[in-house]
Structures are given as C-alpha cells and as structure tokens.
Amino acid sequence: MKKTKRVLLLSLVLAAGVLCVHGCGNGDEIDSFTRMTKSGVFRIGTDATYPPFETVDTKTGKVAGFDIDLMRAICAKYELKPEFIITPFDGIVPGLTTNKYDAVISAFTITPQRARRVMFSEPYYDAGQRIAVALDDTTITGLDDLKGKRLGVQLGTTGERMAQRISGAEIFSFENIGAAFLDMENGRLDAVINDEPTSRMIIFKRKSAKLVGERLSKEQYGIAVRKTDSTLIAKINRALTLLRKDGVLDSLQNKWFGMLAGEN
C-alpha cells in the first residue's frame, strides 16, 4: 500500500513538473528576448543571394546589404551582436520555427499565408514584382505576353506564385535568382519575374536585361519572428520607429538604392 502511495506521489510530482515546464514562467516570447540580452547575440536567418538586400561580399566573405545594415542598426539599439545565418529561401521559415535563429530578414514579403506561420514586424520597405527580359527582346512588354513562355523565378517567393497563375507558362524555379537571369542571358528562358529592386541591381551589374511593363504587385517587406515572440516583435517595431525618426532608414535607402534610380 505504501509502495502504491509512493508511486502515485512520484507520478503527481512528475506531472506537476511537466506542467510547469510548459506553463510556468513568462512564456516563450519573453524567454527569447531575455536569452538574447543575456547572451548578447541576436541570431538572424537570411538568404544571402539577393542583392542589394542581402549578399555575400566577395572581398570580405561577409554578408552585406540593406537588410543586413538594417538589422545591425536594430541590434545596436539593444546592444546586441547580430549573428547572420545563411539559409536557402525555401527553407527560411522552417529554420525559424525550429529555433535555428530568432528572426528572419530576407526581402521577405508580408502575406496572409506567411502570417499564419510567423509574426511580422511593421513594414520597412515597399516593393513589387516586375518582368525582366533580355535586352534585345521586343516581344514581351507586359503580363499578357507571358502566356506559354518559359519563366524564371526564385523558389518559394511571391514571384513564383504569381508565375504559376500565368496560363500555359513553363516555370523554372531557382534557389538563386541570379541563376535565372543567367539562364535568360543564355536563351533558356524568355523572362524572369522577381522583386523590382533586386532585378534592378542585377541589371545594373550585368547590363544584359531590361525591365518591361509596370509593377505586377504592391508588396511590403517585414522582419519575421516566431508566433510566440510578441515581446521580440515589439522591440523590433520600437527600433524601426526610432530608426525612421533618426533618418537611418532614409540613409540606408540612399546607400543601397540611390545608384539604381532610373535603371531599366
């Protein structure tokens, strides 16, 4: 009888411990930011193949770009050191939800579908999809001309989803959008659908393509965190507000996009 009571008591203690692990304390959202402040490190996932937002500097071997500078500025507000973890774009949300890093910044468009899996910051950049074609192409001038064409997109992007809705189009998805532009240069694709700023940067550097038509969409980029990290997203939003007031966001825009004005 005593043995039975001891077993029952032990079971109750273990059950209480399990409940406390899951229900006691301040919650995951506070734990994430508290852990950062204790370690001094903010882990950030990014797909560093998307200039001018994020890319690997060939001279230094380090990540660079508008998004990278923005996260450095946000981290500075809280005296945190950013640690950038390079991840292919189609795996960037799973990496966040499995705690590989604590936030994502990667020219990441805010959409209702994504908002069901992650929590977004306030928008920090307005963008949209554009069509790019080879310099000598005169047959494609807008969306209606893409029916039945061979289209290059980046895997897991809003550009890919847009291309999939075009009647009869043959879609080629790439992990790196630069590879899609290269295939178009070599005649294997008829057009590329991609975020306008990055397409402008690739065109600026390679001089082998041009943008046609108007923007196909109106999109906004946000920083993503896990759905439980409400404290962290509040800290990020506060930092964005301060960076707007300080003029830092405008300075970063001029630094990374000023050269692209009028680039087609």
For 156, half-sphere exposure in the C-beta direction (CA atoms, 13 angstrom radius) is: 15
Q: Which pLDDT tens digit goes with each residue over 50-73?
A: 999 999 998 999 999 999 999 999
pLDDT bin (cut points 50, 70, 90) of residue 125 is very high
Q: Which pLDDT tens digit goes with each residue over 79-104?
A: 999 999 999 999 999 999 999 999 99
Average pLDDT over residues 123-134: 96
Average pLDDT over residues 132-158: 96
Q: What is the model's pLDDT at position 174?
A: 96
Q: Nearest 5°: phi and psi at 222?
A: -140, 165
pLDDT at 149 over 60: yes
Distance CA 90, CA 72 (A): 24
pTM of the predicted structure, to 2 decimals: 0.80
Class of domain 129-217: alpha beta
Q: Nearest 5°: phi and psi at 170?
A: -100, 115
Instruction: Give ranges for CATH 3.40.190.10 in the chain.
Output: 28-126+220-260, 129-217
Which amino acid, one-letter code, is at 48?
Answer: A
Average pLDDT over residues 107-130: 96
Q: Specify the CATH number of the domain 28-126+220-260.
A: 3.40.190.10
pLDDT at 190 over 50: yes
